[in-house]
Amino acid sequence: MKHPSSTYKEAGVDIDSGNRFVQKIKPFLKKTERPEVLSRFGHFAGLFQINTIKYTQPVLVSSTDGVGTKLKVAIEMKKFDTIGIDLVAMCVNDVLCLGAEPLFFLDYYASGKLEVDEAALVVKGIAEACAGINCTLIGGETAEMPTVYNKGDFDLAGFTVGMVNRDQIIDGSSIAIGNKIIGIASSGPHSNGYSLIHKILKDHNVALTDRPKGLNQSLGEELLTPTHLYVNPILNLIKSFSLLGIAHITGGGLLENLPRILPEGCRAEIKLANWPRPAIFRWLQETGNVKEEEMQRVFNCGIGLMLVVPENQAADIVHQLAGQKEKAWVIGDVVARGKGESPLCLL
């Protein structure tokens, strides 16, 4: 018996939808182009020429990341215009920690069924974030995989490449006893700790449309506040100040990120009272009965980036950050680390 013919569309993959999606996002990508881009949209790979006048000792710096289960909040809220900002921020904030300028970005969007309008909003957010920091959205990939993802679900990943001159790399190696630690405010949980957040909401029967006391918007809107982009203010600081170390407070929260850049013999003492803990973190802790140590290990608790700087520059750095509308505080000191002591202490 002759079997009926099969098509890709019947298997769940619509090539025509993919082509419509590509046409829809072209204008977004165009707005992010830097003069170093040599490739045109539609090539199999992106071409980016190094500016050898600006970078005389060029070192490439790369990072890849996703946005985790924050995606579930976006899907449930049917709000797709900001999650792309999170994706960019999680990657570019990482390369920034080495003192690098993000040059270009690529995204990967995978779904069970491509919803063109929703996916276009995601990419629009990615492009807006890239344009705001002069980073080219040079390419990406869209995958429709009905046998992997349920209808309505999708996943995001991103990849960025930055550049820094070799003699300007910030790796923490020059951090010394007596340095000050500056904390720059986060915009909320950023893109970390959402699996615990989902558990708290489920265990306590809380809806994303609820507006808990102390919040100025619904819980869903609060949780979708995009991850803050630190690129512009930090690149401006690098021009005038000595930044000895930069830590992006992501997975591992307050406890585990700063120690990654501290030299042997150095210990960071962080004073929790030196900045206000935002209402969303207080609500999560109280509602979920989350122990303080767990809060510190999972969430940024209001600090999205930490800088280690010379003591005599700390006040001026905070002042300049304020002029760029960044909330920042001197939150700690680098002290001598005794034998058997942990590299970080929260006071």
User: pLDDT by residue (tens digit) across 145-161?
Assistant: 988 998 888 999 999 99
Mean pLDDT in residue range 310-317: 98
**DSSP symbol at 48:** B
pLDDT score of 340 more than 70? yes
Band (pLDDT 50/70/90 cuts) for residue 40 is: confident
pLDDT at residue 11 in the model: 65
Mean pLDDT in residue range 118-143: 94
**DSSP symbol at 267:** E
pLDDT score of 5 more than 90? no
Mean pLDDT in residue range 61-86: 96
Q: Write the CA distances from 309 to 71, 89, 172, integer angstroms.
A: 35, 23, 10
CATH class of 15-168: alpha beta
CATH topology of domain 180-346: Phosphoribosyl-aminoimidazole Synthetase; Chain A, domain 2 (3.90.650)
Q: Which two three-digit tokens encode residue 248?
A: 């992006």
**DSSP symbol at 193:** S
pLDDT score of 21 more than 90? no
Band (pLDDT 50/70/90 cuts) for residue 327 is: very high
The residue assigned the tokens 């985790």 is 68
Average pLDDT across the chain, whole number = 93
Reference 268, options 306, 219, 300; nearest CA is 306
Q: Which two three-digit tokens encode residue 58?
A: 């060029």
pLDDT at residue 321 in the model: 97
Longest CA–CA separation in the chain, Å:
85
User: pLDDT by residue (tens digit) across 176-235?
Assistant: 999 999 999 999 999 999 999 999 999 999 999 999 988 999 999 999 999 999 999 999
Cα distance between residue 98 and residue 181, in whole Å: 17
Q: Which two three-digit tokens encode residue 288?
A: 């979920």
Enumerate the CATH 3.30.1330.10 domain ranges in the chain, comma separated. 15-168
The residue assigned the tokens 């930090």 is 234
Low-confidence winner among 111-120, 288-297, 329-338 (lowest mean pLDDT): 111-120
User: Strand 154-165 and strand 58-66: pairing?
Assistant: antiparallel
pLDDT at residue 20 in the model: 80
Enter the pTM of the model.
0.94
Mean pLDDT in residue range 326-346: 94
User: pLDDT by residue (tens digit) across 239-276?
Assistant: 999 999 999 999 999 999 999 999 999 999 999 999 99
- Cβ atoms 42, 19 nearer than 8 A: no
Cα distance between residue 261 and residue 171, in whole Å: 7
- Cβ atoms 168, 255 nearer than 8 A: no
Mean pLDDT in residue range 131-156: 92
Tell how many helices (H) and how many strands (E) occur in the chain: 11, 10
Band (pLDDT 50/70/90 cuts) for residue 46 is: confident
Q: Which two three-digit tokens encode residue 179?
A: 């340095």
Is the CA virtual torsion 291, 297, 302, 307 positive or negative?
A: positive
More confidently predicted of 46 and 283: 283
pLDDT score of 17 more than 80? no
Provide, rounded to the nearest whole percent, the portion of the chain with pLDDT above 70.
Answer: 96
pLDDT score of 137 more than 90? yes
pLDDT at residue 4 in the model: 65
Residue 191 CA, distance from chain mean position: 7
Is the CA virtual torsion 97, 139, 48, 133 positive or negative?
A: negative
Beta bridge partners of 314: none
Cα distance between residue 321 and residue 318, in whole Å: 5
Cα distance between residue 101 and residue 160, in whole Å: 10
pLDDT score of 128 more than 70? yes
DSSP string, 110-137: EESS--HHHHHHHHHHHHHHHHHTT-EE
Mean pLDDT in residue range 167-173: 96
More confidently predicted of 232 and 14: 232
pLDDT score of 43 more than 90? no
Enumerate the CATH 3.90.650.10 domain ranges in the chain, comma separated. 180-346
pLDDT score of 339 more than 90? no
Q: Write the CA distances from 251 to 98, 297, 300, integer angstroms.
A: 18, 8, 8
pLDDT score of 8 more than 70? no
pLDDT at residue 47 in the model: 92
- Cβ atoms 280, 188 nearer than 8 A: yes
Backbone angles phi, psi at 65, to 5 degrees: -165, 175
